[in-house]
Structure 1
Amino acid sequence: MADGIPILPDDMIQNILERLPVKSLMRFQCVCRQWRILFKTQYFITNHLHHSNHQNPCLLLQRYGIDNPSNFYCLDSEMQVSELQKPPLLNSLKRGEIIGSSNGLLCVEINKHDPYYHLLLVWNPAIREVRRVPETKFHEDYRNYLIGFGFCPITNDYKIVITYSSGLYADLSAVKVYSLSTGAWREVELRLNDTVRLNSRSVTVNGVMFWLVLKRFEEYTENRIVSFDLEAEEFTVITIPELQPIKLTVYEEKLVIFSENKNSEHSAIDMWVMEEGVGASGERWGWTKKYTSSPNPCLLNPTCFLNLTTIWRNEIVFCPPGEEESTVLLNPTTGEMKKFAISKCDYGYCRSNYAESLVRVEE
């Protein structure tokens, strides 16, 4: 008590503030200088992000077309869709595509007429900050590339990784890495004992980026994935079980592979989780099959597998083609399936999970 007025302890006030939406915290910067400084400390940013990830993780949606500006939306736990407020730099650009999401930051690629330059942005929609990444040019022989975005907890840094090959079915040839902390690109030496052909969007788990490996024509399957340690900046080829992988994603901070279940009479999927520890042949990683779906009419169309997008709020998200209400949630625990009324023709595709944060991107 101070002069008869009850006063909350500072640690209790901070505990309350950490649970508030970013929009409220932006307004509360005007309350006092102490709060304005507090909201920029790494300790507060980290704690706020922890609560944001657990309280209301959103599902990113994207609407885009050849002649229309890109629009980005998020679906919240109440199944309400809201548009992400873009800063002026993004409003003036067209045909952007979300490359990845990490700790409230989005990496967006802007399509350009020059195929040899990359125009990339790192954007925090919640605090409306955006950084234009310096353009980087690649050699004309490299006709095919994949872009990944992820967070390295060891160095507290965000990195963009571009992998290059000379064609769609060519082996990995070169790699460039952009660091948000240094604001610069660097070419990374490609040290691999074997040649690989990457064939998927990347997924980042605990500071390691992963890709599926493209099946070779002379072999029926390629039971490997490729990882890239964002701290050491080194590649590793990892053996996976003999399966037909169709998607990489993240579940409970672990890498997940979804695969087509060939033993089922009808369409079904298996969910494999990578566990750290000694595998059957002495590898660093082991694999556990956590779930096999029940046959379901939604999965009878084989192309549905290609539209399995992510895991959101512990449910598997599908965007089956050719349906008016195209987004489907599958609960792997109960086997329950449900649709929600967001048409793919209106909102494009579900991209990834997203949670608001106070992480800064401006230099």
Structure 2
Amino acid sequence: MSETTPETMSETTPESTSEPTPETMPEATPGTMPEATPETMPENPITPYLSSLESNEFTQHILPEHILPKLPAKTLVRFKAVCSKWRTTIETPEFARAHLLQYPNIRSVISIDYHASFTALNYQDYPNLDFTDFKKHYKDESPYIVESCNGLLLLICSKDDSEPVNKQLPDHLLYFRFYFVVYNPFLGPASSIRIDPPENFLLKTEIDDAKDYNFGFGYSFSRDDYFIVAVNSRMIANLDITVHLYSLQDRRWIRIDISSTVKPIIEFAIPWYNLSGILVNELLHWPVNAVISKSCQEMIAVFDWFGQDQFKTMPLPREVFGEFDDYRSTFGLCRLNDCLCAWALYNDRTVVEMWMMKIYGIDGSWTMLFRFDMLGFLGVYDGITNFFGFNRSEMALILSCTDELMLAEFYLDPPVYTSFKFKEQVKAVNYDASFMSPLLLSPPQDQD
């Protein structure tokens, strides 16, 4: 054992350490604790760990990769103001894609009113509803929502120098100088892109009708591309179908002519301004009336742009699906839990039933989810025009023929509903908020 010297003892004396000895501790008054001072407080053992994380792994990997992507877009907008590093991180395309994959799917819709203002409604946790109002961005245009995909809105905009566009008659929008806009309301108009319509898409003839045209908007994971589909189901007298496909990656329209000699003649059951193509399995689906052997039958039309680039048809759960109505459709499509669903109205629109195709493409997998009698159900006595989904309390968000947006508890007898103010709203679609920018997919085109 080495000999202890005065020199070595002085290096280990209590006076030279950071912790005071009992002799140097201040005396405590009976019944009280000694006052804590920086000299008497022990060092927090977590502080060095947090400091190392903050300077290394935490800010470089954990925060941007595992924490921020799991937060709602509304919160991230505020976080962008914390510091320039957070703002730069949130605005990168890599973060936008990570946010789409990691942020849990919530039940929400976005609507537009006659003043071109957008409002998002998160109805997942009733009665804790979350409304997000976006400022008016289109002062001189008349935008109308077609559909939403991954936080991007597909709008149809019209502008006429001679008279204002009346959005109470949305089918008239096509007959002005219309064009498409892909837009993210969280990023503002500076990130939007304008897309001119395909050439010779709209043919103004005596047989033209709003049901002759429809649109769709979606995203293909396999191709990592967003696409727009514009369909004209009547071409003068030959009744052929013309499909125009726009790729945001390629930035061009492709025209596809589908002859009616090999496929049924179809008519869209619901006008484009009420319901556009439903995206399931990377394909767009529409409820249609198909003429087969001079008889009309309700079916589902599917545009398969991955295979033969043409329409194909799928059967509905029943051969007679919904009651016949000369004025309004009594059946429609929606998507629930990433599955294709079809709903129909019966008994003078007082009964509604919902079916789900649990295995896509397998007709035998159609399963009835519910069938309810809505007789006496105040607010929907004239039927339902759209079905958006269920929240965590199993309440269904629907849009009635009286333009009421409401949460309905169909499982109660009699059903109960909660109506929301939908005054001056002209369209609502399902919506997943994100930071995806169309500018990351396609550079802005020349604006007129």
TM-score over 0.5 for the pair:
yes
Secondary structure of the 1:5 match is helix
2:199 is the counterpart of 1:121: no
Corresponding position of 2:429: 352
Corresponding position of 1:204: 279
Contact 2:147 2:429 in 1 (8 A): yes
Partners of 2:179 and 2:50 in 1: how far apart? 59
Corresponding position of 1:341: 420
Change (3 A) 1:5 1:309: same
- Deviation, 1:98, is 0.3
Letter in 2 for 1:106: L
Alignment of structure 1 residues 309-328 onto 2, 5 Å = 309-311=387-389, 313=391, 315-322=395-402, 326-328=404-406
Contact 2:119 2:134 in 1 (8 A): yes
One of 200, 225, 228 as aligned partner of 2:303: 228
One of 158, 176, 179 as aligned partner of 1:111: 158
Structure (1 or 2) with the larger CA radius of gyration: 2
The percent identity for this pair of structures is 16
Letter in 1 for 2:154: C
How many corresponding residue pairs?
341
Alignment of structure 1 residues 168-247 onto 2, 5 Å = 171=239, 173-190=241-258, 193-200=263-270, 201=275, 202-214=277-289, 222-232=297-307, 233-240=309-316, 241-242=318-319, 243-244=321-322, 246-247=331-332
2:126 is the counterpart of 1:79: no
Moved more, 240-249 or 192-201: 192-201
Partners of 2:349 and 2:213 in 1: how far apart? 35
Change (3 A) 1:57 1:126: farther
Partners of 1:52 and 1:75 in 2: how far apart? 17
Q: TM-score, normalised by structure 2?
A: 0.66
Change (3 A) 1:123 1:168: farther
Alignment of structure 1 residues 18-33 onto 2, 5 Å = 18-20=69-71, 21=73, 22-24=76-78, 26-27=80-81, 30-31=84-85
Contact 1:205 1:253 in 2 (8 A): yes
- Deviation, 1:174, is 0.6
Contact 2:234 2:241 in 1 (8 A): yes
Corresponding position of 1:36: 88
Task: Show structure 1 runs of 5+ residues with no match.
Answer: none
Corresponding position of 1:249: 334
Corresponding position of 1:45: 96
- Deviation, 1:109, is 0.2
Corresponding position of 1:97: 144
Contact 2:159 2:176 in 1 (8 A): no
Contact 1:150 1:158 in 2 (8 A): yes
Contact 2:186 2:434 in 1 (8 A): yes
Corresponding position of 2:231: 163
Moved more, 252-261 or 312-321: 312-321
Aligned-CA RMSD value = 3.4
Q: TM-score, normalised by structure 1?
A: 0.80
Partners of 1:198 and 1:3 in 2: how far apart? 62
Partners of 2:303 and 2:214 in 1: how far apart? 13
Letter in 1 for 2:405: T
Letter in 2 for 1:36: T
Alignment of structure 1 residues 283-302 onto 2, 5 Å = 286-298=365-377
Corresponding position of 1:271: 354
Letter in 2 for 1:96: P
Change (3 A) 1:2 1:212: same
